[in-house]
Structure 1
Amino acid sequence: MTRFAADSTTLRWGVLGATSYISTHVMPGIARTPGCELSAVASRPERAAAAAEVGRSFGATVHPDYGTLLADDALDAVYIPLPNSDHVDWTLRALAAGKHVLVEKPMAMTENDCVRIEKAAEAASRTVMEAFMYRFHPQQRRTAELLASGEIGELRVVRASFAFGIESGSGNIRLEPSLGGGATWDVGCYAVDVPLLFFGHVPQTVSARFSRRPGIDVETSAVATMDFGQGRSAVVDYSIDYGPRSYYELQGTRGSITVRNAWAMEGEDGVITVLTHDGIREETIPSANHYQLQVAAFAEAVRDNVLAPMSLADSRNTARVGASLVASAAADGANIATTGDATVVP
């Protein structure tokens, strides 16, 4: 099975969904990436008119449903931004149809489902990557360089806060428990990913407390701690009650590095603050389109047949920790081990 559907060096994309956010941010990122082409879109029947308009604006074929798009042999890859509850099913269907897959976070809400996807990707010789666009902004790479330089010493604490408000009664899928809604599997994914990214492994234990807005059947805010062993920890909060906020801080033994807006969009410079005994300074990171950079990195992995920069092992770890946070909150904030089955740690 070839890596491309046609004899071409162009990666032809299909997108499952046509919301305004996708068409404003992700689709332009695909269309503007050299060597990529936004070739097809599909949507739910009730959004057929919107999909038709989006298709016209990008010169893309409009398919009547997701299954028909996956059956399009002219496509090489698909982007899946559906409700969380649909990510696993449509990722497996896309792999069975011979497509490479960029799927929105969370790729899955259990580690077992991540393993299912990993096995299916291996069997199909296809690339799957979970979409964490913030990772591809140059300010995250620069932060990693500063940490590796030793300027702030040994990393001891990661603090992360991610939030954006969603109004009650808005019909937003993030408020629907049957669709995998709730803060944990949305903005919480970022709060989990930051300490995993910079510590490089999962914590030993986690503890979390959730709160719910009156009249809402999913958790809307959370505060959690993670123990990474050897005196290293993370303290995170996330919410769909307030915001926007996408902040993190790396506290080392000799100083700290702070990123004030990890979601810095195109047209907005990134700002990194470094504080040590020698003083405080700011570094400005030129504006970048992290959606486009994410697409470019995924396409490169497909073309070169190499491990995706957001690996499936990374996705397994994110799912494991997210599920552990849910288990902890259900046990009134008990410490939950992240290895093996989620168990309460005395």
Structure 2
Amino acid sequence: MTAPQHHHDTLRWGVLGATSYIATHLMPAIAATDGCALSAVASRPERAAAAAELGRRFGATVHRDYAALLADPGIDAVYIPLPNTGHVEWTLRALAAGKHVLVEKPMAMDEDGCARIEKAAEAASRTVMEAFMYRFHPQQRRAADILASGEIGELRLVRASFAFRIESGSDNIRLDPALGGGATWDVGCYAVDAPLLFFGQAPERVRARFSSRPGLAVDTSAVATMDFGQGRSAVVDYSIDYGPRAAYELQGTHGTVMVRNAWAMDAEDGVVTVLTQDGVREETVPAADHYRLQVDAFARAVRDGVPAPMSLSDSRRTARVGSALVASAAAGGAAVETSDDAPEPR
């Protein structure tokens, strides 16, 4: 993809869904980003009143359903935050309609779904990116810069812990197995992504143990280890039983970098702590809206015809590791191979 892929000055967005999460985080981010406009919204019939209210608030057209929004020739890009089981289908439908797509994580719950999306994106010459907003906060770049500087030596271990509690009986879609619920495909995506991001590769193998809160049919907590070879590892935990927690540590041969609030919201400064033999220092990273930075990065990729910063191969890797954690837990914590040269999905 080298040529810019649309010819308007403004990238006109449509949003599939009308939940409070979308209304609080993504819609304002789209509306506030230079060169982007929130042009349309669609919802399920039972959310029609919420969609109408959002349409009024953002000056967006309200479509009767998702398919009608995709058929709107005035829309260049769509954001898809539907339940996990709908991500592949609606991403493929959006690509078939000629739209660029920002799809909520997980892009797919197996590597094959990501491969199908990659093929369709190529055929349509459209940009697709999985939404990992935490990657766009400047504190992640700062942590990566400290690691690259050699100050903490060679990276040996990543510890990542991502969790927030969801109450039983709350009708939250994350508690519904039929909608791809559970901790692994929700907060687990972040816990998995952090070590892959900093090691820059898939682990060779993973082991996981899941637990489920009594009365729930989805995994609600997990502890997993990842073996990256050459003595390099990751230890991750994630949960919808406890929290909130969104922290990771990069352990090098000569020191540690800690980010204790990887989900810092737009009014919160980021804090990066560096611990070496010379002592401890805390660096403050000025507050930033990582949702807006994510939208801006995606829009830039579309405009310039360059690959999105969260690449489709990154997404395939995350899906492969997530699937392997599920397989390991089902096998009582047995090791499951996940390396980048593992067999291609059929």
TM surpasses 0.5: yes
Q: Give SS of 1:213's match.
A: coil
Tell me the residue number matched to 1:3: 5
The reply to whether residue 49 of structure 1 matches residue 38 of structure 2 is no
Task: Give distance in 1, aligned partners of 2:20 and 2:316.
Answer: 30
AA paired with 1:261?
N
Equivalent residues in 2 for 1:193-342 (5 A)? 193-339=193-339, 340=342
CA displacement at 1:3 relative to structure 2: 2.2
Task: Give distance in 2, aligned partners of 1:117 and 1:159.
Answer: 30
Equivalent residues in 2 for 1:106-145 (5 A)? 106-145=106-145
Equivalent pairs counted in the alignment come to: 340
Q: Give SS of 1:8's match.
A: coil
Task: Give distance in 2, aligned partners of 1:164 and 1:341.
Answer: 34
Task: Give distance in 1, aligned partners of 2:51 and 2:194.
Answer: 34
TM-score normalized by structure 1?
0.97
Q: Which runs of 5+ in 2 are unaligned?
A: none
Task: Give distance in 2, aligned partners of 1:216 and 1:145.
Answer: 42
The reply to whether residue 146 of structure 1 matches residue 130 of structure 2 is no
Q: Give SS of 2:94's match.
A: helix
> Are the aligned partners of 2:4 and 2:305 in contact in 1 as well (CA < 8 Å)?
no
Task: Give distance in 1, aligned partners of 2:175 and 2:114.
Answer: 23
Task: Give distance in 1, aligned partners of 2:49 and 2:336.
Answer: 47
AA paired with 1:53?
E
Tell me the C-alpha RMSD between the 2 structures.
1.1
CA displacement at 1:2 relative to structure 2: 7.6
Q: Deviations over 1:42-66 (max 9, x none)?
A: 0000000010000000000000100
Task: Give distance in 2, aligned partners of 1:119 and 1:18.
Answer: 29
> Are the aligned partners of 2:162 and 2:188 in contact in 1 as well (CA < 8 Å)?
yes
Task: Give distance in 2, aligned partners of 1:100 and 1:123.
Answer: 12
AA paired with 2:285?
I
CA displacement at 1:8 relative to structure 2: 1.8
Tell me the residue number matched to 2:184: 184
CA displacement at 1:208 relative to structure 2: 0.2
Task: Give distance in 2, aligned partners of 1:299 and 1:101.
Answer: 10
AA paired with 2:331?
A
The reply to whether residue 66 of structure 1 matches residue 66 of structure 2 is yes
Task: Give distance in 1, aligned partners of 2:28 and 2:101.
Answer: 18
Tell me the residue number matched to 1:75: 75
Q: Deviations over 1:52-86 (max 9, x none)?
A: 00000000000010000000000000000000000
Tell me the residue number matched to 1:97: 97
The reply to whether residue 170 of structure 1 matches residue 161 of structure 2 is no
> Are the aligned partners of 2:5 and 2:304 in contact in 1 as well (CA < 8 Å)?
no
Q: Give SS of 1:31's match.
A: helix
Structure 1 moving runs of 4+ over 2 Å: 1-4, 339-342
Q: Give SS of 1:325's match.
A: helix
> Are the aligned partners of 2:4 and 2:304 in contact in 1 as well (CA < 8 Å)?
no
Tell me the percent identity: 77
Task: Give distance in 2, aligned partners of 1:78 and 1:21.
Answer: 16
Q: Give SS of 2:296's match.
A: helix
AA paired with 1:3?
Q
Q: Give SS of 1:306's match.
A: coil
Tell me the residue number matched to 1:30: 30
CA displacement at 1:341 relative to structure 2: 5.8
228-237 or 331-340, which moves further after superposition? 331-340
AA paired with 1:214?
P
Q: Give SS of 1:68's match.
A: helix
Q: Give SS of 1:106's match.
A: coil
The reply to whether residue 86 of structure 1 matches residue 86 of structure 2 is yes
AA paired with 2:174?
R
Specify whether residues 268 and 2 from structure 1 end up closer, same or farther in structure 2 by C-alpha distance, changes over 3 A only: closer
Task: Give distance in 1, aligned partners of 2:110 and 2:62.
Answer: 32
Q: Give SS of 1:284's match.
A: strand
AA paired with 1:132?
F
TM-score normalized by structure 2?
0.97
